[in-house]
Amino acid sequence: MTATEAAPLQLDEIQGIVLRDRPSPYVGTYILLRVDDPGAGRELMGRLAELVDSAANWWQPDLPALLNAGLTYRGLEALQVSPVALSTFPEEFRQGMAARAEFIGDTGESAPARWEPPFGTG
């Protein structure tokens, strides 16, 4: 493969929302979780992974709901992802949203100091 050729995407390994538009109409719910027990957290993520919609199946009109999942760098640390794997993430991701608030426009009313605990802490 040359530098100008792109590797084919493995759509079944990519969350649907990454490559596809949201369906319309769209209603969403966000559930925020904290990992206190790494083993239990990894077990939960394993069970959820089976339910996450991939880009290979996006969008099937007969699906009653869609599931996507996202993790923060601190969440990956709490799941005890290896330091070697963690070091591969960009510095911006490792810093977290609170540290980058001014850059991404979370200022004034949206500043981390106004976020519900513990979200503005880093």
Per residue in 11-27, pLDDT (tens digit) is 888 988 888 777 777 78
Gap between the Cα atoms of 59 and 22, Å rounded: 9
pLDDT of res. 77: 97
CA atoms within 13 A on the CB side of 53: 21
**Looking at 2-11, 40-49, 73-82, 97-106, which range is the least confident one?**
2-11
Q: Which helix (H) or strand (E) holds 40?
A: helix 38-49
In angstroms, how far is the first alpha carbon of the chain from the final one? 40
CB-CB contact of 93 with 104 (8 Å): no
Q: Taking residues 39-45, report their average pLDDT.
A: 97
Under the banding of pLDDT at 50, 70 and 90, the label for residue 62 is: low
* Stated pTM of the model: 0.78
Rg (CA), the chain: 17
